[in-house]
Structure 1
Amino acid sequence: MNFFDTLQSATTQERQALFSVPVIRDALGGIVSLEGYIAFLTQAYHHVRHTVPLMMACGARLPSRLEWLRGAVCEYIEEEYGHEQWILNDIAACGGDAEQVRNSRPSLSIELMVAFLYDLIARDNPVGLFGMVNVLEGTSIALATQAAGSIQQGLGLPPTAFSYLSSHGALDQDHMATYRELMNRLDRPEDQEAVIHSAKVVYQLYTEMFRGLPRAHQPEVQHALA
């Protein structure tokens, strides 16, 4: 079995836990409240704005034996730069307060996820950052391809409110094809273990974030944006 498939197998339980969260099941069925969508975008902003800094930190700490991976990181940085602004634009198109979101704090799970990734790069194995890529891009593909259109129709929002989610459907599918190839080139057990460990941690924290989002049929559930 190649390493990409090993990674998927090793994280099956965590992935199933994420996609069993009620708000995720609702979203895949196209059922999302405006409050819930803005809450999702808010948390997305708080981790997406760290994507480029994390990739830069990762690239700087990769050993020379992984120069081929550093090159891929450079390409990824170029493609991801500025995507946090797309999210703020989407929030504004939904009628939300983009500046309030920019100046707010993330949920605890997202704050811990970002802190874990910085620490992983600085103190452990920078290759582990690719565990995050597996989780976040795989999830965004599912939401974009199966949910974005029906959510937009259900909420009556303009296409300008879905620039982040819709673009990441096609973009992340391309990324995942490249990602599979990159992961299959990792041949050291310590690098593979770092990716698996990171993916498991990120899955659990990302799942906690989704559990905190309000559901469309439960308006009494509140999600703090502060």
Structure 2
Amino acid sequence: MLQDISKRRQELVEAAFRGLAIAWTDFEGQLEQVPVIRKLNRGHLQIGDYRALLKNLRQQVVDGGCWIARAASHVDADHFEIRSHFMKHAVTEHRDFQMIEANFIACGGTLEEIRSAPKNIGSEALSAFMFHKASQPNPFALLGAMFMIEGLGSRKAVEWGAAIKEQLGLDDHQVSFMLYHGAHDDDHLDELETHLAMTVHDESDVQDVVRTARIVGRLYALQLEELDHV
């Protein structure tokens, strides 16, 4: 019986990864259509574009540690290890916005400007969705959200950071947020398989994880599309 359960759980995890891979491919296609990313890919990025990107990302990153902490508070004692993972993740994320602020100031912006900027339209939608999901009992579908957001760090951040550095003639300390995440977010993704194996029990769970990933991908792209549109 145990062998059958383990085999079934493995099939569900594999199905989740297939769905997440498709969601990621769709997300990459959406990113390619975002104006600021198109400018970056074509070598046309300006320092003002980079400052706008940092300013708009900061507001969502501030919320990142908060929604992860809220998710942890809604995980029951039967899933203690997942709750611990969420709590540790919240701790590692909750100061990331300070790197963005430092990069913004190092590129000619001011602390007052970046801290006073409101969320853009896409950031509002993304943040609202994340807190909504995090407030549900055992919000394990957020593993799909983490796959997408951490995937940005591990698969895109170094590429973007290097391109921004080259195009704008910047130093590492001016693009440290992206370079840091490119080096560290692989650690989070390595844990995903283990946590999916602990939380997906049927096809409905798989669909919830993948659907959450797809929604987060679309809203994240919307956030980048709506730079400074508040």
TM-score normalised according to structure 1 size? 0.84
| More off after superposition, 27-36 vs 66-75 | 27-36
Larger Rg: 2
Identity of matched residues, %? 25
What SS does the aligned partner of 2:117 have?
Answer: coil
**Distance in 1 of aligned mates of 2:155 and 2:73:** 31
Q: CA deviation at 1:99?
A: 1.7
**RMSD between aligned alpha carbons?**
2.3
TM-score normalised according to structure 2 size? 0.83
**Distance in 2 of aligned mates of 1:167 and 1:14:** 22
Give the match for residue 110 of structure 2.
97
- For the pair 1:50 / 2:75, whether they are aligned, the reply is no
Give the match for residue 45 of structure 2.
32
Q: Where do 5+ consecutive residues of structure 2 fail to align?
A: 1-10
| More off after superposition, 9-18 vs 171-180 | 9-18
**Distance in 1 of aligned mates of 2:32 and 2:190:** 21
- For the pair 1:7 / 2:20, whether they are aligned, the reply is yes
Relative to 1, partners in 2 of residues 1:114 and 1:95: Cα closer, same or farther, differing over 3 Å? Answer: same
**Distance in 1 of aligned mates of 2:106 and 2:44:** 19
Give the match for residue 225 of structure 2.
211
**Distance in 1 of aligned mates of 2:95 and 2:53:** 18
Give the match for residue 120 of structure 1.
133
**Distance in 2 of aligned mates of 1:60 and 1:159:** 36
Q: Do 1:109 and 1:209's aligned partners in 2 also have CA atoms closer than 8 Å?
A: yes
Q: How does 1:20-169 map to 2 (within 5 A)?
A: 20-28=33-41, 31-123=44-136, 126-169=139-182
Q: Do 1:18 and 1:204's aligned partners in 2 also have CA atoms closer than 8 Å?
A: no
Give the match for residue 209 of structure 2.
195
Q: CA deviation at 1:33?
A: 1.6
Q: Where do 5+ consecutive residues of structure 1 fail to align?
A: 214-222
Q: Do 2:68 and 2:134's aligned partners in 1 also have CA atoms closer than 8 Å?
A: no
What SS does the aligned partner of 1:50 have?
Answer: helix
Q: CA deviation at 1:165?
A: 0.7
